[in-house]
Amino acid sequence: MAKRYRPVDRDQAFLFPPDMRDWLPEDHLVWLVIAVVGGHLDTSAFHAARRTGGRGAAGYDPDMLLALLTWAYAHQVMSSRRIEELCRTDVAFRVICAGDVPDHCTISRFRGDFPGAIEVFFAGVLVLCARLGMGRLGMVALDGTKIAANASKEANRTGERLRKLAAGAVAAHAAADAADDGLFGAGARGDEVPAEAWRPGSRRQRIAAALADLEAEQAAAAAERRELALAHLEPARAGSPRAGARPPEAGVELAQLNLDRATAAQQAKIDDWQARNAASLAAGGRGLRNPPRAPASDYVRVKAAAARLERAAGRAAAAQRKAAGKAAAGKGPGPVRNITDPASRLMPVRGGGFIRGCNAQNVTSEDGLIIATRLTNDTTDTRWYQPMIGDACAAAALITANQPAPPAGGGGGGGHGDGSGIGLVLADAGYLSRDNLRASGPGRLIATGQRRALEQAARQPPAAGGEEPADDLITAMTARLATQEGITAYRQRGHIAETPHGNIKHNKRFRQLSVRGQPKTAAEWTFAATVHNLFKAITSGHLTTETLNALTT
């Protein structure tokens, strides 16, 4: 039994100046993060974005701020005010900033400088991981995940509402200007500030940006529909109509073109018969038998073409009435834009419902490194397959060039014979299209249906008589996934692709972007992926103080 308690003397002065290295043990991870960011990564792009040498107090070291944000994002802290608070109360945060606490505005402004610099940081961490022996490329997986934007769905506005807001803002400014002119005279308000301190109203700019973006998207969609319609109309005009379903925009025009062609063909028969009949009467006084049905509109094929035109026109009118009724009933607002963050979109999420956010695309290696990433505002994944695989191939070349040489007699890094460095790409059905299946690049397995259906097809015995040749790309991919080899490889997709998303969004609690605007949000997501890669190297045991020192010797 203890005889007394230890004294608690909070007024005791330090007999020696405190040493920060005594605050945490030598093997604490914060020392490793500081060493990596400050001594083994290229941070020149962050230094270039900072201004030094002018009037005022000295600025904060970008290496310190970068290490601070890296440690914060790895420990579920994204708020700049919370980071400032922890720099005063948390020992690890205090060690990073060396007791010189940056305010939240400095942290926020530094994060705003990420665009243009974060890509170098991402590549630097990837190279570091490759030098440590990471980056297994035998199989990589492409997947998308929805991330919430720093904006509310309540700030969504339709195009009509945006135009009213823009007109109201113009009218309000005009009224305010007229009132100011009456008080202070034309051209003056009475409370002028220096020109360099003036900043335009951001809300008015966001309304204008949202309206311009919405109108541009609607124009692009209309142009795409028209282009698709022309792809059917032009061959039909040339006499070789395309097979397959016709786009609604071309239905009436194609039906009219078919009717005109059938009418002209029948009229040509009538004119030819009449000419030959007149010649026969003139030559022998005897007319020809079996005259063609006239007028041309009575011909059976012309009647059928006219009926098809009537049905096409009816379908088009019904579609217009349905759209008008839907708009009048308020069942759907149609395309909307957010005036808080115009770059965000309404994104469908698993389990139903929508969030206001973005769609992050990631390519992940077998050992859990995100080797390529982009943040898009596209609600679907299909058109991002080829751009992402292009980025992944470039990253694979960077990884391969920096990996240590395999031991004598050992295998390589699992690269592919086509020189891409990637063995096999795994992707879910969201990326399925014939263009993606036929595109150049490494081999791929893209799901042609739900996982349950693929598993059932793989469990069924092959048909008797051998396999029939598949002349369709999707049919061929379905057949490949039904093989034991194909389904065994595809089963790895979920683990490879979705584990990093779970780590970022669940373990690190990064479920919502902190910044707004496409360049800044894309840079923040890239930073989150970089932090994932760095701590993946640490938790897997590849990055330690010993291995880091070995790289420099």
Q: What is the pLDDT along the chain (553 residues), one digit of tens a residue?
A: 667 877 777 777 777 777 888 889 988 999 999 999 988 899 999 988 876 656 777 888 999 999 999 999 999 999 999 999 999 999 999 999 988 899 999 999 999 889 989 999 999 999 999 999 999 999 999 999 999 988 765 555 554 554 554 555 444 544 555 555 555 454 545 555 444 333 444 656 655 665 566 556 656 556 655 666 556 556 666 666 665 556 666 677 777 777 888 888 888 888 888 888 888 888 877 778 878 877 878 888 888 888 888 888 888 788 777 766 665 554 444 555 555 677 777 888 877 788 888 999 999 999 999 999 999 988 889 999 999 999 999 999 999 999 887 765 444 445 554 556 899 999 999 999 999 999 999 999 999 988 888 888 888 876 655 555 456 899 999 999 999 999 999 999 999 999 999 999 999 999 999 988 888 999 999 999 999 999 999 999 999 999 998 887 6
To which residue do tokens 């063909």 refer? 265
For residue 424, the cross-strand partners are 139, 443
Using CA atoms, how far apart are residues 347 and 462, in angstroms rounded to an integer? 40
Residue 470: count other Cβ atoms within 10 Å of its Cβ.
13
Residue 375: count other Cβ atoms within 10 Å of its Cβ.
23
As to burial, measured by CB atoms within 10 angstroms (0-12 exposed, 13-18 middle, 19+ buried), residue 543 is buried
* Residue 454 identity: L
How high is the pLDDT of residue 240? 62
Is the distance from CB of 502 to CB of 98 less than 8 angstroms?
A: no
For residue 94, the cross-strand partners are none
| CB burial string 293-309: b at 16+ within 10 A, e below | eeebeebeebeebbebb
Report residue 443 as tokens.
């081999």
In the 8-state DSSP scheme, what is residue 56? S
To which residue do tokens 């823009």 refer? 166
For residue 444, the cross-strand partners are 425
How high is the pLDDT of residue 332? 45
| CB burial string 401-427: b at 16+ within 10 A, e below | eebeeeeeeeeebbbbeeebbbbbbbb
Q: Name the packing angle between helices 518-539 and 104-112 (round to 10°).
A: 100
